[in-house]
């Protein structure tokens, strides 16, 4: 991969919790404007991997470059410019129940971009409409919303600041198939419209094929397969086949 074209590069990343290795030597690159999807069984460290890139978890070993700058040793203040170019949809939604829906969406706009409140509210309402929600819920608490609505609010929040790098952790899990399809399209539209670099985690193979330019599979602390969407569709790799076939037989143990 051409160095100037690389947005995120991970080299030999290790992370253990209480002596139990979760990531044991991850090497992965994401090109500028590329949409990478990470798949893999539950509990293999997909969310931990994203949190390392975001700087929310400190790796035990290894390097993470964003725009060719090594980030694992940066202080909070040095990390600030990286945070402001990232948007994240957390697996659990992670909306603030103490804030209204519109305040959740506009949080980054008001905090880091210092957008005035009235402008930020207007922006939040237009983002609500963009994810197919009514402006009537703007002043509600996220706790009042269904799971699918919360995911959409989380998506609106993740893209509000027009980040250059977007992370989506299980954006369609727990949604009905029609809502999941809507979310897939919203992700594709937002990523392409903003020319952003995206890293998405999903269990949903259909969603992976829709969103991805490239797919990587995480298992047992390592990337066990990596390829383009076209390669993903054709591969006879036993890990990928087992995920696609939802089979209990194969290299992935229970
Ligand atoms: N802060 C933490 N402290 C201790 N252990 C952790 C912490 N965060 C994650 N783990 C452990 O790391 C492992 C990987 O967790 P992670 O959430 O990354 O899995 P995942 O691949 O995202 O799974 P899922 O598909 O279910 O979301 C799990 O065993 C989890 O318990
Ligand atoms: Mg996870």
- Predicted confidence band of residue 93 (pLDDT cuts 50, 70, 90): low
The ligand with the least distance to the CA atom of 23 is 1
Bridge partner residues of 217 (DSSP): 39, 225
Tell me whether residue 219 is in a domain. Answer: yes
Distance 115 CA to ligand 1 centre (A): 35
Q: Decide: 128 and 101 in contact? Cβ < 8 Å.
A: yes
Q: Which residues contact 180 (CB under 8 A, 6 or more apart)?
A: 172, 204, 207
Tell me whether residue 253 is in a domain. Answer: yes
DSSP structural state of residue 93:
-
Q: Which residue has the tokens 């509000």?
A: 160
- Predicted confidence band of residue 82 (pLDDT cuts 50, 70, 90): confident
Note the pLDDT of residue 225: 96
Q: How big is the chain, counted in residues?
A: 254
Question: CB neighbours (10 Å) of residue 73?
Answer: 10
The residue ranking higher by pLDDT, 175 or 46, is 46
The structural domain count of the chain equals 1
Largest CA distance in the chain: 56
Tell me whether residue 18 is in a domain. Answer: yes
Per residue in 161-189, pLDDT (tens digit) is 899 999 999 988 878 888 888 889 988 98
DSSP codes, 40-69: --TTSSHHHHHHHHHTSS--SEEEEEETTE
The ligand with the least distance to the CA atom of 57 is 1
Tell me whether residue 184 is in a domain. Answer: no
CATH of the domain at 38: 3.40.50.300
Nearest CA to ligand 1 atom 24: 42
| pLDDT of 222 strictly over 60 | yes
Tell me the average pLDDT across 25-47.
95
Tell me whether residue 130 is in a domain. Answer: no
Q: What is the percentage of the chain residues whose pLDDT exceeds 70?
A: 98
The alpha carbons of the chain give a radius of gyration, in whole angstroms, of: 18
Q: Which residues contact 123 (CB under 8 A, 6 or more apart)?
A: 105, 106, 109, 115, 160
Tell me the average pLDDT across 73-77.
90
Q: Decide: 202 and 243 in contact? Cβ < 8 Å.
A: no
- Predicted confidence band of residue 249 (pLDDT cuts 50, 70, 90): confident
| pLDDT of 68 strictly over 70 | yes
Note the pLDDT of residue 25: 96
Cα 124–Cα 126–Cα 130 angle in degrees, nearest 5: 110
Tell me the average pLDDT across 88-108.
87
Tell me whether residue 155 is in a domain. Answer: no
Per residue in 127-152, pLDDT (tens digit) is 999 888 999 999 999 999 988 889 89
Tell me whether residue 210 is in a domain. Answer: yes
Residues 116, 120, 122, 128, Cα dihedral to 10°: -170
Pairwise CA distance, residues 69 & 64, whole Å: 8
**CB of residue 44 inside a 6 A radius of ligand 1:** yes
Sign of the C-alpha dihedral computed for residues 113, 68, 2 and 29 taken in this order:
negative
Nearest CA to 2 out of 35, 33, 37 is that of 33
Q: Best mutation site among 18, 48, 57, 174 for ligand 1, i.e. most ligand atoms within 8 A of its Cβ?
A: 48
- Predicted confidence band of residue 3 (pLDDT cuts 50, 70, 90): low
Q: What is the percentage of the chain residues whose pLDDT exceeds 90?
A: 61
Average pLDDT, the chain: 91
Per residue in 190-199, pLDDT (tens digit) is 888 889 999 9
Tell me whether residue 234 is in a domain. Answer: yes
| pLDDT of 248 strictly over 90 | no
Nearest CA to ligand 1 atom 17: 47
Question: CB neighbours (10 Å) of residue 195?
Answer: 10
**CB of residue 50 inside a 6 A radius of ligand 1:** no
Q: Domain of 42?
A: 1-85+203-254
Pairwise CA distance, residues 98 & 192, whole Å: 32
Note the pLDDT of residue 193: 84
Note the pLDDT of residue 176: 85
| pLDDT of 1 strictly over 90 | no
Nearest CA to 218 out of 77, 24, 72 is that of 24
């Amino acid at each position: 991969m051409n160095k100037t074209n690389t947005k995120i590069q991970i080299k030999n990343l290790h992370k253990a919790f209480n002596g139990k290795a979760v990531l044991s030597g991850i090497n992965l690159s994401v090109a500028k404007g590329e949409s990478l999807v990470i798949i893999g069984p539950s509990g293999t460290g997909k969310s931990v991997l994203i949190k390392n890139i975001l700087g929310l978890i400190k790796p035990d070993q290894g390097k993470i470059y964003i725009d060719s700058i090594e980030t694992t040793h940066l202080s909070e203040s040095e990390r600030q410019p990286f945070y402001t170019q990232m948007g994240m949809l957390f697996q659990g939604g992670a909306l603030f129940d103490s804030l209204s829906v519109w305040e959740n969406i506009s949080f980054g706009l008001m905090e880091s971009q210092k957008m005035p409140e009235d402008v930020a509210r207007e922006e939040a309402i237009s983002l609500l409409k963009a994810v197919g929600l009514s402006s009537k819920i703007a002043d509600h608490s996220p706790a009042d919303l269904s799971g699918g609505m919360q995911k959409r609010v989380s998506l609106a929040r993740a893209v509000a600041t027009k980040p250059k790098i977007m992370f989506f952790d299980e954006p369609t899990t727990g949604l009905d198939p029609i809502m999941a399809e809507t979310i897939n399209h919203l992700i594709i539209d937002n990523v392409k419209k903003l020319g952003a670099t995206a890293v998405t985690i999903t269990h949903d193979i259909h969603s992976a094929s829709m969103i991805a330019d490239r797919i990587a599979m995480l298992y047992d602390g390592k990337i066990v397969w990596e390829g383009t969407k076209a390669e993903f569709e054709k591969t006879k790799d036993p890990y990928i086949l087992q995920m696609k076939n939802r089979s209990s037989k194969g290299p992935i143990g229970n």
